[in-house]
Each structure stands twice: as structure tokens, then as C-alpha cells.
Structure 1
Amino acid sequence: MSLSPQWLDELRARISLSGLIGRSVRVTKAGREFKACCPFHNEKTPSFTINDEKGFYHCFGCGAHGDAIRWMTDHQGLPFMEAVKELAVQAGMEVPAPDPRAAKKAEQQKSLHDVMAAAQDFFVRSLADERGEQARRYLASRGFPASVVRDFGFGFAPDSRTALKEALSAFPDDMLIEAGLRIVVEGKEPYDRFRGRLMLPILDPRGRVIAFGGRILSADKTDAPKYLNSPDTPLFDKGRTVYNLHRAGPASRQSGRVVVVEGYMDVVALAVAGIAEAVAPLGTALTEHQIERLWRLVETPTLCFDGDSAGQRAAMRAITRALPLLRPGHSLRIVTLPAGMDPDDVVKAQGPAAMEALLDGARSLVDVLWEVERDAAPLTTPEDKAGLKARLLAHCETIAHPDIKSLYRRELTERFGDLAFARKERVPFQPRQGNSGLRGKGQPWKPAPAPLAEQDKAKMLRIGNGPSTSLLAAVLSGLILHPAQIVRHADALARLKPDDPATCALIDALLVQADTMQTLESEGLRTILLERGLRLPSAQDYAGMRFGFLAGSGDSTGDELAEAVALLVELPAVEEALEHATKRHETEFSDESFAEQQRLLQRRLALLARLGQMGRARAAL
């Protein structure tokens, strides 16, 4: 399909932008323009202006800017061509068709839209007459107010094999079958697909009925599925359609989120609770196409799953679908509901605030992936643990984006290391106290508390101000100068936790480079780091100390850099242990605490002396 600039300009000229926006936002006249509170961010004082003469809107608060087509894509959540088609209908223009076959298909779809609209009218009328009494009682039992029943278009399909066909007699049976409203069985007369069910229309982003979902009402029909959806048709592709997207799109602009639940009745229940940005897949696990459509609305949709094993399986299906698609800033967040409860149960039992609290506590995709795989099987043997690591790395390999793949591999490997190689608490040796060596004489024995430096020792080594900071700057400069050494020291780098965010970002970038298994020349690496806006250390950062690995390139360079890295790891660990030992001695004031403090103090002085020797020795060269 070719849309010329002239045709698009004519389309924009025929649309009243203030009238278009005014359907969703309250606008007021302000001179030759219109004003409104911006629908793209929360504000109390209007800063959103609409200029019909120039054909654009602009927000002076958040910078949102665009024309009628941009409004339909950004605010209404429509794809570009859907937005153009919707505006063309309003403007009374024909969208150019690429060829006769496409024109014929468009005409066919238009006719099917008429069929679906007529079916929806019939279902709504049936709900209101005597045939819909049972359905009305069910809706009342769910606590759905009349306004919600009307807005979501609830209806009723009579328990008859021909009621719909008779009501839609103006349409040939072939069209009803093609629309998925009637079923053909070889050797039998076609019959209505939906019978004795509460009906809910499924709409496309333009608000047109394209399919139906039906919930059975009779408890006697145990052999029938509880929920029944339309089959795939020329209008309806269940793997690409997201239920309630046309309502959730505008609502998500206000809330900044999209909530994905398992079924359309959950969507309605959340709407009653005031959560209007809820959507649902239709009879399948969340597909790649549906994830992409949700990402057009928000960067991190929130998925809700039951807390039982079936909910965990559903969460993993969504995660495995999403992993290959991940890109910077785009992911999923996951909420695990209490076991045996759906969103409606949570709202009714604990109130909307409880559901909001669950949504606020949504976990990241990597957290849920780790927890599900960790708990999937026992971890009692080395083989069990190796299996966990293999599963985690297999998930990482499915991620297409190289940086995200590397960061996932690093994050999950760290968690696996903490689990598989956890430090076991040692009971320190305690000599017998007292003057006598005889059993039972002298002071009674009691175990001394473990040194604070050994209690709950953090896996990360904090580096604040002082010698460690200067040494870290020198080491990072050395690794940038000798990129081949990065892989050798990746584990040590991963343990460091500088206070400076810029230094943390630089370490992460070097670790990502190590994960790529690609060795660059120094200048190439510097170029990559600078292009990413990272600050590289300078001679001032390491107090002018002239380490050999910063000046030379001989065989000893790697060994000298390794010695500096070892010193960098041990020095902050000793400083932290000394701090704990000092606090312990101030509390206990015992010989043991004093001895431990002095031992660590001497070790720190020795490390600082070695650091000074390294710098002075190289400066003399």
C-alpha cells in the first residue's frame, strides 16, 4: 500500500484535531488554540495545547508533540496503518488499496464486521429479555454494576442450535460460518457455536467486534468447556489479539503500566476495582506478537499469575517467550497471586488496595526466572546443582541482544555461585582457659563469638575513599591498556562495589566485554567505552603512582597486574574486617578481641606498605 505525502496531508487537513482529542480529553478554548491537562503525564495545570490551524498538539510539560496520526498511535495505541484507516473513515476518505486482491479482502472483512456487529446486537438483546435471566443473575453475583455490563458489552447466547441463525437471517449461512458464529460438521446441519453462554465481545484496537468469548452458565453441562472463544477467522487471530487493548491503551498513558491477567473476566473484575489498564491473552499463553503489542504501550508490562504450580508453569512460558525479544529498557514484571486466588478473589476478599499492593511488589523477570529454576528440582547433589546451572545458561543463550545476554549470564552465574559455593560457618578454635591443665579445673570453657569479619561476610567488597580507590583506578587503567587480561580477572572485578556510580558503570562495561569472549586492542576498547559515555580513569585518580603494568608491555606485565588485583581484593576486605574487629573490641574489651584487632591492623599496614613499594619502585624506573 502506497500512501503519498499529498494523501496524508489531505487526511490531516480533514480531521479536526481538537475534536479528535476532545473525545478522550476535556479541552477548553484558549484564544485561537485549545488547552487541556496533558494525557501523557499527570498534571493539574493545563500545559497541553492543540492548534487546529497548524494541525499539531504540544505539551510544554513533558514535550509530547504530534499530529492526528501520532495521536492515534501514541495515545490510542494503534499501529500506524490502523490509525490511518480509522482517521480515513472519520474523514470520509478511501485508503488506497495495493491491488484488486487486497481490495477484495478489505471488502470481505467489512462484510464480516457487519455480521459481528449484528451478532453483538442480538446477544445484548437476549441478555435483556426473559431468556437472559440466568445470565443476569450470574452478573449480579459477580458484583458487576450495570455501567460495567454496558461498557464491556455483555450479552447472552440462547441455548439453541439455530437462534443466532434465525436472528441474522439477512446474512447467508456461509458468512456466519466464516465469522466463526456457526459450526459445520460433515454430514450434519450447521449449528450455532455459542449456546447457553454469557457472551463477551472481543474488540480490535478500533473498537470493532471481531470475536466472542462465552462462559457456560449451566452446571449440568460438565462435558462442555467452561470458556469458549471464537476460532481464528479473517478478522480474529487469537495469537495476535490482546483483549481490552482498546480501553487499556488510553488508561495506561495515565497510570504508566499495563496489567496482564489470565482471562477476560479477570479484566472486568479489575475494571470494577478501578484498574482500567488490564488486558488478557485469549485462550493461549502470552505470545511474542502480544508481548510486542504491549511494549508499544509500556516498556515493562506487569503479568499476574496464580501462586500454584500451574501459575508457575504459565509464568515460565511467558518468560521463555520474552527472553529472545528482550531489548534495552523492555522487559516484563511478574506478580504471583496468593495460591487459589485470582484477581477478583483478591479484590473481594481484601479490597482494591491489596491488589494495588501486589502490583506494586511485582518482581523482575530475572528474579522469577532464578526462583522458578532454583525450586524446580532438588539440589542435594553436585549433579543436581550442575543441572540448575545448565538450565540457567540455556535460558541466557536464547537472548538475542548481546549486552542483555551477557548481563543475564553474569547475574545468574553470581546467584548460582552464592548457592552452590556458600561459605560454611567455621567454629573458631578455643583454648582451655585457666591456670590448670587438668580436666574440670580452672575457668569454665565457653565458646567465643566468631570474629565480626567472618560473620555474614558480604560477597561484594565495598570500596570507598582512600588507598583502595587509587589502586582501583590504576587497575582499571591497566585492564583498559591490556584488554586481554580482563577475562583473567573478571571474577575479582565482579566482587568489587565502588561507591562511585561512574566507576561501577565502567566495571560493568569491562565485564560485558569479558563475556563477549572478544579481545580488542586497547584503542578499540577505549573507543567503545568513550562512545558509551563512560569516564575513564586518569593519572590523577591514582595519585601519580607509576605502576609497571601502566608503563611496560613485557612478559612481567600480566604478573604485576595480577599482583595489583590481588592487593585490590584483599585490602578492602582487611579494612572491613578491621572495622568490625575494632567495634567488637570496644564492646568486649577482651584479650582475644584485642589480638584480632592488632593482627588485622598489622596486615593492613603490610598491604599499604606493599602498595607504596609498588608505586615507588615503578616511579624509580
Structure 2
Amino acid sequence: MPLPPNFLDELRARTPLPPLIGRKVKLTRNGRQWKGCCPFHNEKTPSFYVYDDHYHCFGCGQHGDAIGFTMQTEGLPFREAVERLAHEAGLEVPKESPRQAAREARARDLHDVLAAAAEAMQRWLRAPEGRQGLEYLQRRGLTAETIDRFGLGWSGSGRGALAEALKPLGIEPRQLAEAGLSKPVEGREGAFNDFFYNRVIFPIRDKRGRIVSFGGRILGDGQPKYLNGPETDVFSKRRTLYGLDMAREAVFRGKARLIVAEGYMDVIALHQAGFEGAVAPLGTALTPEQMEEIWRVTPEPVLCLDGDAAGLRAAARSAEMVLPLLGTERTLHFATLPTGQDPDDLIGQKGPGAFQAVLDAARPLSVALYDLMADGRPLGTPEGRAAFRNDLAAAAGRIPDKALAAEYRRALLDRFFESARPQRPQRAPGGGGGFAPRGGGGRPGFRPPPRLPPRVVPEAGNTRLEQARCLLAIILAHPWLLNEVEEAFALLELPHGHPSALQAALLAWHAGLVLTEASNESTSSLDSADLVAHLDATGLDEARAWVMRATGLPREASPDAQPGETLDGWWHFFGFLRGEGALVEDLVEARRELETTNEVAAQARVIRLSQALSALRRGETGLEEGATSATP
């Protein structure tokens, strides 16, 4: 008995391929996939790749799913391979029943009926009655090869024409109705009319390449412009994607990137232009079931929609729909076409390179989500901005993976706060009207340090690098700070190179001191000279020298800086490096801790985080007093 397709899909979903194949092949992570030496032929260089739902060897061409791998490596027939995997997955293999046998036989019959109908409609397209359909496709720039490849056809202009054409094959009107090709005539028992007529026909296939339904485009002014076949035993609109059978093969072989377009003609035009990973939903928006199918093919598809209002609305719906489905191993990118242009328009006018440029400019979901949610919002008032901020946080909260949700929340809120930050005024030549020094204005007897001449502000990447250098310099001059700021210091993501290496070394050094002190075996102290000697002895002398170079360092990095001033300065640079969204979360947590403990240390943390957040929102960099950028 043939096993139900839904059971086999469930079995494949419950059988992760990397662990299964890893029993026989040594696999190593390669981006989002795994790779190893092929078990089906002798090779020294790995060309065997394992994806979420299939494997493929680019050396010998072997490919398949969990069932196929078990059959090939264990020498088992299909049924036994299924039973073994089902036992491991905790599934029970369905037993044969008269009802199930009848359902499977009916499905086979429906596929046969649909295939016969497709052949008839392909013939009609090139007959005199289908001339207007063929001319339409040719005007749209489709070649004869493309028309044949996608099996495009013409439905005929007369009611009952399809039933008459298929009657010699023994296909009855009842079967056509079950396949979604005809519908009963009201008031006339046993009478049927064709579901499609006077339409260009697009066969819809499942991912195995079997025809499951049709879509039709009317020529002229009739409505609806596009019409899909009704739901049947073999066709579910919300679970099917047009072109998936061809696209998955192209993506599978590494020839294309999976692109989600808007409709039939977009998919066909993209395939003809060489973008063979194109698919389309059978409606106005993607469904969760369709996204699951897409992610089984690739973890990073590109959603490509028109730049008009309808396209933006569809993109917004899709972005919100995928949030509860996201994971660290699967996401979505958004590419936007020029307003008023379809893929075939763009390719026809400017060539495939123009569409490739659109793909190259695709935005990750986190960026596109912000843009789509901000579109049309009243952000000019405090109420409007507060509502938008709440919506951003709520959108991130819909992501089930907590770590991923936190990263999205941080990215969205960082951009939100950045959008509200005013442009920093330019300082007048000569230093007049300069910024007051942090924490020192107005104190009796205070003598501000001399101002350096104005300088060009470094680029964003160099600014962050210089901020990290200043923060590290303060610690190197005052290692006792680690007792106060170790937890916060560990949260920072410092630039790669000297900064990140020193961060790891300082945290490890401090942790070692704490352990030895706890066991009364302390051989060192929180002394700057000891710390410098330790760094030089562990091969970080070059990184240490880069930090301690005098040019541009803040006064808090000098050995004679006062403890309070030093601590304020460290938190100042911490704020710039932490980022606005994360600082907001830190401040909320600090306030919660203060309410719970009412400790002085918690109060100090709230004050310093508030000051750091204020400085960041004022647009300061911490480098206004003359620090210069440096390469690590």
C-alpha cells in the first residue's frame, strides 16, 4: 500500500538529517549547512553537503532525503527504511485500510486527469482558437522553449469543451469536477461547466512535479484577472507555491537563490532570465505553511515585491507573519523593485543585471521590518513615537527564540533612538562655545584641561574603535575598576582585533585574581604595573602599547585621575559602546534591581546608566576633546 504523503512529510520533518547522516559520515559545519566526504564514492575533498531536508553530492550527483539515505546506506527497501525511521521518530506506520486505499487510488486518478487536461490545453494554445493566448505570451517576451517548459496552455472558449476533449480517454465529468476542472450547473442535475474558459492556463505542480491544479489569466476586461482552481484532495492553495518543483532543484544544485515573487508571470520571466530559484504564492500574501516549505529549501530566501503601495502592504504582512516562525537558522530578506515595474519589465528594459542589482540590495528582515512599520506612522509627536516604540518592542517579542528576540529588539530600538537623535552642532573655529567637560563644570577651584584645536570627526567604525581604546586605557590605568564594572564590561562587543583580545585577557586576569584571593594564595594585585607586566608576558604587548599611546586619551586614563571621575569616565564610554537599545534595557533592569534591593551600588548604576544614555542621545561620541582614530 502506498503510504500517505502527509505521514511521509511528518516522518521527514521528525528526522533531522545531520544527526542521521552523521552516524556514517564525519560532518563539519559549513555556514548553515554541513559537509563531509561522500559515502557513495571515494573522495578526499568533501563535496557532500547536508541541508535541512536533503543531501547532495556535487561530485557524484547522489541526492535524496532521510528515507533515501537509509535505503542507500543500509540496502533496505522503501517500506523497511520507513519503518526503521518511524520507530526512531516515535511514529506509527499507517496500516492499510479500504478507505485509505480508496483515497490513494482517487489521488492517482486525479493526477492522471489533471495531466490529461494539461496536454489538451497545451494543444489548444497552438491551435487557431488559442491564438490570442499565444500572442499574449509572446508579447510578454516568453520564448517557445519557456512556454513548453512551464506547460502553458489555453482553456478554450466553449463551455464543456474540456469534457468533450477528454471523453475519448474515458474521463467522466464527475472526475473533472473532483479535479477542480469543472463545476455543477445549478438546476441541472448531472450537468457541468468548465471551471476555466477564455483564459491562458498555468499548470500548478507540487514540489514533486505532479500537476495538482491550474491557474488562469483572462484576456480582456473580465474579472477576476487571475483565477486559481478550487481546493481538492490533491491541491491546497495555502500549502502550494508556484514553480517550487523547478526552483528547489536549482537551489538544490547551487545554481540559484530562492526568490519569492508575486505571480505566475513574474516567476516565468525570472526563470527565463536565469533566476531559476523563483517561486510565487497563489494569492496576495505568503502563508505560514508556504514559508515552512520555502525554509525546507533554503534558510535565507529573498522576498521580492513591487515598490508600489500594494507591494509594500504585502511585504508588511509577510514580515509580521514570519516573526513567530523565525529561528537562528532561518530568516528572510526583502528586495524592492522600482515603483511600477515587474521583474519582466525591469529585465526587458535594462537586462538581468538590473534585477541582480535589486537582489544584491536586499535588506535583512530586521531592517525591512523597521522601514515597513515606520511607513505612514505619525512620528512627529511624542505620542506617535511612543506608540511606534511600543509596536517595535512588541514585534520583537513575537519571536519565540528569546536570544534572537533580544537581538531584534536591540536592533530595532537602536535605530529608533538613532532616528530621534539631533544633529550635533558644529563648534565654531577658535574653540568658542565649546562643550563643558564631563562632571567638572562649576566646581570651586576647577581648572579645565586645555582645549585642542578642532579636528575632523572620525568615521563611525573608527569612532567605535577609538571609544574602545579610551575605555580600555581607563582600565589599564585603574585596574581596580574591574571590581566595580566586570559584569558590564563582559556585556560589551568590542571591535575585533586588539580591543576584543584585551577584553578577554582583562576579564581572565581579574577572574584569576579573584580565585587566588579566595584561596589566600594571591600573588598579584589590582595594580596597573602588575597588569601591564602580565599583558606583556602573555604576548599582548603590542595591543597594550596601542591602547596606552598618549594621543587622544581622556584625562580619566591618567594615573592621577580621581576615583569618582575615573568611574564616571568609564561608564561614559561604556554607554557609547553598548548602544542605545541595550542601554535602555540595562537601565530598566538596574531600576528594577534598585527597587528590589535599595542598595547604594544599584542606585549608582542607575545614575551612571542614565548619564550615559543622555550623552548618547545628545549625539556625543566621547571624543570631542581631541581623541584621534587609530588602527588596532
The alpha-carbon deviation at position 126 of structure 1 amounts to: 1.2
What SS does the corresponding residue of 2:297 show, helix, strand or coil?
Answer: coil
Q: Which residue of 2 aligns with 1:153?
A: 151
The answer to whether residue 103 in structure 2 is matched with residue 134 in structure 1 is no
Residues 246 and 277 in structure 2, CA contact (< 8 A), matched pair in contact too: yes
Q: 1:124 to 1:431 in 2, by over 3 A?
A: closer
* Cα gap change, 1:215 to 1:559, in 2 (>3 Å): closer
Asked if structure 2 preserves the Cα contact closer than 8 Å seen for 1:72 and 1:83, the reply is: no
Task: Give 1:396-545 correspondences, 5 Å limit.
Answer: 396-425=396-425, 451-452=454-455, 461-463=464-466, 468-469=471-472, 471=474, 478=483, 486=488, 497-500=494-497, 503=500
Is the CA contact 2:181–2:195 (under 8 Å) kept in the aligned structure 1? yes
CA drift at 1:386? 1.1
CA distance in 2 between counterparts of 1:563 and 1:160 reads 80
SS at match of 2:235: coil
Work out whether residues 57 and 66 of structure 1, in 8 Å CA contact, stay in contact via their aligned partners in 2: no
CA distance in 1, matches of 2:238, 2:532: 57
Cα separation, 2, equivalents of 1:466 and 1:212: 64
Indicate whether 1:250 and 2:234 are aligned: no
Following superposition, the deviation at residue 338 of structure 1 comes to 0.5
Q: Secondary structure at the match of 1:200?
A: strand
Once the two structures are aligned, what percentage of the paired residues are identical? 34
Shift of 1:208: 0.9
Distance 1:340 1:320 in 2: 24
The 8 Å contact of residues 267 and 280 in structure 2, kept in 1 or not, is answered as yes
What RMSD over aligned residues (CA atoms) do the two structures have, in Å?
5.0
- 3-state DSSP class of the match of 1:303? strand
CA contact (8 A) 2:431 2:454 kept: no
Deviation of the 1:409 alpha carbon: 0.7
Specify the alignment match of 1:438 in structure 2.
Answer: none
Question: 2:209 aligns to what SS in structure 1?
Answer: coil
- Give the match's secondary structure for 2:254: helix
Residue deviations 1:379-410, cap 9 Å, x none?
A: 22111211211221121121111111000111
1:167-214 deviations in Å (ceiling 9; x for gaps): 222223222111110123532442100001111111112211111011
SS of aligned partner of 2:232: coil
Residues 163 and 173 in structure 2, CA contact (< 8 A), matched pair in contact too: yes
- Residues 201 and 212 in structure 1, CA contact (< 8 A), matched pair in contact too: yes
Distance between the aligned counterparts of 2:610 and 2:531, measured in 1?
19
Quote the residue 1:381 is aligned against: 381
Does residue 194 (structure 1) correspond to residue 196 (structure 2)? The answer is yes
Q: 1:211 aligns with which of 210, 213, 221?
A: 213
Q: Is the 8 A contact 2:306 2:340 kept in 1?
A: yes
Question: Residue 235 of structure 1 aligns with which residue?
Answer: 234
Q: Which moved more, 1:307-316 or 1:460-469?
A: 460-469
Q: CA deviation at 1:135?
A: 1.4
Which stretch of structure 1 is more off in the superposition, 193-202 or 166-175?
A: 166-175
Match of 2:105 in 1: 107
Amino acid at match of 1:159: S
Q: Is this contact kept in 2: 1:181–1:192, CA < 8 A? A: yes
Contact preservation (8 Å) 2:396, 2:405: yes
Runs of 5+ unmatched residues, structure 1: 9-39, 42-46, 86-90, 433-449, 511-521, 527-537, 582-621
Equivalent of 1:64 in 33, 44, 48: 48
**Alignment pair present for 1:117 and 2:101:** no
CA drift at 1:103: 2.6
CA apart distance, 1:223: 3.8
The question of whether the paired residues in 2 share the 8 Å contact of 1:183 and 1:192 is answered with yes
1:90-119 CA-to-partner distances (Å, cap 9, x unmatched) read x99899853313332211111111111111
Asked if the contact 1:211–1:230 (Cα under 8 Å) also holds between the matched residues in 2, the reply is yes
* Contact 1:76–1:249, Cα closer than 8 Å, also in 2: no
Partner of 1:335 in structure 2? Answer: 335
SS at match of 1:187: coil
**2:238 alignment partner AA:** G
**2:341 equivalent to 1:357:** no
Q: Secondary structure at the match of 1:462?
A: helix
Distance 2:128 2:501 in 1: 69
Q: Aligned residue pairs: how many? A: 476
Aligned-pair CA distance for 1:275: 1.3
| SS of residue in 2 equivalent to 1:206 | coil
Aligned position for 2:583: none
Provide TM-score, normalisation by structure 1: 0.65
List runs of 5+ in structure 2 lacking aligned partners: 9-29, 72-76, 83-92, 433-452, 516-526, 536-558, 568-597
1:179 is matched with 179
Aligned residue number for residue 276 of structure 2? 276
Question: What SS does structure 1 have at the residue aligned with 2:212?
Answer: strand
The match for 1:26 is: none
Distance 2:165 2:64 in 1: 33
Distance of 1:349 and 1:466 partners within structure 2:
51
Cα 1:117–1:2 change in 2 (3 A) is: closer
Match of 1:296 in 2: 296
Tell me, in whole angstroms, the C-alpha distance in 2 between the residues paired with 1:76 and 1:161.
47
Measure how far apart 1:128 and its partner are: 2.4
1:464–1:499 CA contact under 8 A, matched in 2: no
Q: CA deviation at 1:556?
A: 6.5
| CA–CA separation in structure 2 for the residues paired with 1:541 and 1:463 | 21
Q: For 1:501 and 1:299, how far apart are their aligned partners in 2? A: 34
CA distance in 1, matches of 2:47, 2:386: 51
Residue of structure 1 in register with 2:21 after alignment: none
Separation in structure 2 between the aligned mates of residue 175 and residue 114 of structure 1, nearest angstrom: 10
* Equivalent-residue separation in structure 2 for 1:381 and 1:360 (angstroms): 35
Partner of 1:162: 160
Q: Which amino acid aligns with 2:471?
A: S
Q: Pick closer, same or farther for the CA change 1:370–1:561 going to 2, 3 Å.
A: closer
Q: Check conservation: 1:212, 1:230, Cα contact below 8 A.
A: yes
Contact 1:77 1:297 in 2 (8 A): no
Secondary structure at the counterpart of residue 242 of structure 2 = coil
String of CA shifts for 1:352-405, please: whole Å, max 9, x gaps: 111111111111111111112223223221112112112211211211111110
Which residue identity lines up with residue 365 of structure 1 in the other structure?
L
